[in-house]
Amino acid sequence: PSDNTSGETAQIVTDTTAPDNPVLNPIEAGNNPVISGTGEPGATVNITLPDGSVITTTVLPDGTWSIESPIALHPSDEVTATQTDPSSNTSGETEQIVVDTTAPDNPVLNPIEAGNNPIISGTGEPGATVEITLPDGSTITTDVLPDGTWSIESPIALHPNDEVTATQTDPSDNTSGETEQIVVDTTAPDNPVLNPIEAGNNPIISGTGEPGAIVNITLPDGSTITTDVLPDGTWSIESPIALHPSDEVTATQTDPSDNTSGETEQIVTDTTAPDNPVLNPIEAGNNPVISGTGEPGATVNITLPDGSVITTDVLPDGTWSIESPIALHPSDEVTATQTDPSDNTSGEVEQIVVDTTAPDKPIINEIIAGENPTISGDGEPGATVEITLPDGSVITTDVLPDGAWSIESPIALKPGDTVTAIQTDPSGNKSEPGEQIVRLKEYANFVIDAKNMIMTTEELQRHIDDKTLDDFILKQTDAKAYRTNDQLDLTPLKVDSSTLLKSGVAGTIQKVIVKYDVTNKDISPYEVDVAMLQDQNDQSIQSMEQNDATVLYTVMAAVDIEVTEKKGGMMLPVTGESIAQILVVAAGTATMGMLVLYAGRKRKQ
């Protein structure tokens, strides 16, 4: 109150009040996330990181602060912060748990190869869970590895153009957007399987492959054929050309994504046995030809009755033949097989040897008339000879191994009778008939009376023109035979004129005509050699030694004539009884300077 003023006391204002705890904004996990907040302007913020290290920053005048973490911060990491004001007062600690609220990037989905259970893979945020949605709507999941990769096998088949999607969800349950991948097929299919191919004209070529693929088959001629693989994985196609053993066929397959496989090769084989060869009927014989048909190029193996084997090749036209090295007899068995060039052997074919060839007509020896004469001859050994006698009865006998046969006639045979015979071989083949005329035992006796048997040329010609000469006529003008008996067969022969010389005949023989009288039915025709001699140049008989005389031979009576005298009207004696007349004709005159000569041939004894 007295207005007295004391001395001055000074006091420095101080700040001893700790600032508030700094505000620590939510921290997003990351590699170098920004840590931020607010505080007292000018204060220093001290941030303690999860690894214990401390970083500092200053609160700006506007009260905010921020700093980049030098280390990666992960969800659930703990970060604390304090601030110290300029008066060095330090606040309390603020704590913040690192969080992850950011959706991860879409996962990387690698190209997916079509297949039954293909691997689906990619990359993502380590620790995230990848969810894959398959074409059928089902989902599968897998975790991203620490290195950022992931993979999983598809539980279903994936086909080209199928769609697969994937998302990833991080551990903070943040889910990414969706990644899509179209399934592709860039893998060449396996080589197709080419089944063994059998040779043939149009064989089936088959195998297995990838369903839906196209199989390309290259044939030996360079041409190609194609076919599709069926849903069951099989394929087949007929070859448009013939395939032969050792031909080469190749195949590839191209899948629907145009990926082509490697080549598969197959060598054509022949494992099919050929058909049994055809064995033609075999005719019995000493070295018969065995023949047939078969597969061209095959080898035919023929087994003969003695067990030996002969072989021959089938020709390009399918035929084969070979001569048997041994005789084959009726009922022998011959078998044959054929082996083709691929060594496949057919079944066996059998043929029984047969005899279908008729034997020759049997030979009947000369038969001499008698009560029960022996009839004999030659034939095929083993054959049965059937002899037909004049009364129509038949007798039989067998041909012996030496080819001879004989049997006694059960009836009397007289001259002129006809006996026929056929032979039947063991295979039942019958021959043509052989024939023999029964003959007298002795020659007939001929008497020639030249004097009383003269005929002029004019008379002879008249008889020829009127055809009044019986049996047959020899005409001197052209040496042809005119005959009224068609059973006589005339065959021209030659004879040496030396036969005439031996008879001691002189003069010229101009023409001869013979008439044989068969009115005597007890006498049968025999062999007769009739000489018709003509000296065209009026030469002596001796001069004919250098000439050929024409002889006409016919089946008549065998006559031997001996000249004992040479004068007109002579008798020419012969052996036997008188049964025939011989007409001798002189040319133009009735002189008896002519003689007739018979160059006779005796019968077999």
Question: What distances in angstroms separate CA 411 from CA 129, 365, 390, 461, one per listed residue?
Answer: 132, 18, 9, 46
Residue keyed to tokens 């006559």: 559
pLDDT recorded at residue 440? 61
CA–CA separation, 277 vs 454, rounded Å?
Answer: 80
Closest CA to 494 of 565, 441, 547: 547
CA–CA separation, 199 vs 181, rounded Å?
Answer: 49
**Could you give the percent of the chain with pLDDT greater than 70?**
73
pLDDT at 499 over 80: no
Question: What distances in angstroms separate CA 473 from CA 462, 488, 516, 529, 587, one per listed residue?
Answer: 12, 11, 10, 14, 16
pLDDT recorded at residue 16? 84
Average pLDDT for 472-483: 28
Residues 457-470 have pLDDT tens digits of: 454 445 545 544 33
CB 572, CB 448: distance < 8 Å:
yes
DSSP state of 544: G
Strands (E), 333-484: 333-339, 349-352, 363-364, 367-368, 374-378, 384-388, 394-398, 404-408, 418-424, 434-439, 447-449, 472-474, 481-483
Higher pLDDT, 421 or 439: 421
pLDDT recorded at residue 315? 97
Residues 87-139 have pLDDT tens digits of: 999 999 999 999 888 899 999 999 999 889 999 999 999 999 999 999 999 99
Average pLDDT for 535-553: 28
What is residue 255's three-state secondary structure?
A: coil
Average pLDDT, the chain: 77
How big is the CA angle at 342 (ends 341 and 344), to the nearest 5 degrees? 100
pLDDT at 238 over 90: yes
How many other CB atoms sit within 10 Å of the CB of residue 572? Answer: 21
pLDDT recorded at residue 1? 75
**DSSP labels, 276-300:** PPEE---B-BSSPEEEEE--TT-EE
Residues 346-362 have pLDDT tens digits of: 999 999 999 888 999 99
Instruction: For residue 422, name the pLDDT band (cuts at 50, 70, 90).
Output: very high
Closest CA to 524 of 412, 443, 421, 434: 443
274 Cβ contact partners less than 8 Å away, ≥ 6 residues apart: 294, 295, 298, 338, 339, 340, 344, 346
CA–CA separation, 13 vs 32, rounded Å?
Answer: 42
Residue 114 C-alpha from the chain's centroid: 47
pLDDT recorded at residue 548? 29
Instruction: For residue 524, name the pLDDT band (cuts at 50, 70, 90).
Output: very low
pLDDT recorded at residue 470? 34
pLDDT at 604 over 70: no
Tokens of 189: 């299919």
**198: exposed, middle or buried (Cβ count in 10 Å: 0-12, 13-18, 19+):** middle
The widest CA-to-CA distance across the chain, in whole angstroms, is 247
Average pLDDT for 210-222: 96
CB 96, CB 103: distance < 8 Å:
no
Question: What distances in angstroms separate CA 457 from CA 462, 502, 513, 588, 589, one per listed residue?
Answer: 9, 29, 11, 6, 9
Residues 8-54 have pLDDT tens digits of: 877 777 778 999 999 999 999 889 999 999 999 999 999 999 999 99
pTM to 2 decimal places: 0.45
pLDDT recorded at residue 583? 28
Residue 457, phi then psi, degrees to nearest 5: -60, -40
Instruction: For residue 588, name the pLDDT band (cuts at 50, 70, 90).
Output: very low
CB 336, CB 300: distance < 8 Å:
yes
Tokens of 65: 């602060």
